[in-house]
Structure 1
Amino acid sequence: MNENDNIGDELLDILIRFSPKSLTDVIVGGDWKYSIDAFERFFESCREKNLHYFGITSEDHITEDHKIIIRKYRDL
């Protein structure tokens, strides 16, 4: 296991815990790996925020399951 395998999850956890409700745009690197659970937690936390834009710089480690979660919360 690479030591950076969970860096994406750590980033999302930091955003969940410390980002202000006024955060409106988030762009993350798709070169990092994100678990499906971390994606779900992040978007669930965004229900309380005013997130208008979520972008990914590349999709190297973004799976169809990640995209399903994005669409699920985008379409709410």
Structure 2
Amino acid sequence: MPVTEDHIENIVASLVAQGLLHGFIAHSQGRFAIIGAKQKGAVAAGWPPPAEILATGLKEGEDVPGWVKRV
């Protein structure tokens, strides 16, 4: 099945909703706008470190799914 613009838009919207991307989808322009890109740069403003995002949603003693524990 070929990848369409709708597929990409859904993936980006999901990443924004999960807090893994900072910005918004500009539907009228067909673009993803990154808030603060001119001040910090697109990568620093748009893509926070995943470890920070995952750690903020964890409860005390809870593990991150998929991370390997050192024994």
Normalising by structure 1, report the TM-score: 0.28
Relative contact order (alpha carbons < 8 A, sep ≥ 6): 1 or 2 greater? 1
Name the one with the larger helix percent. Answer: 1
Normalising by structure 2, report the TM-score: 0.30
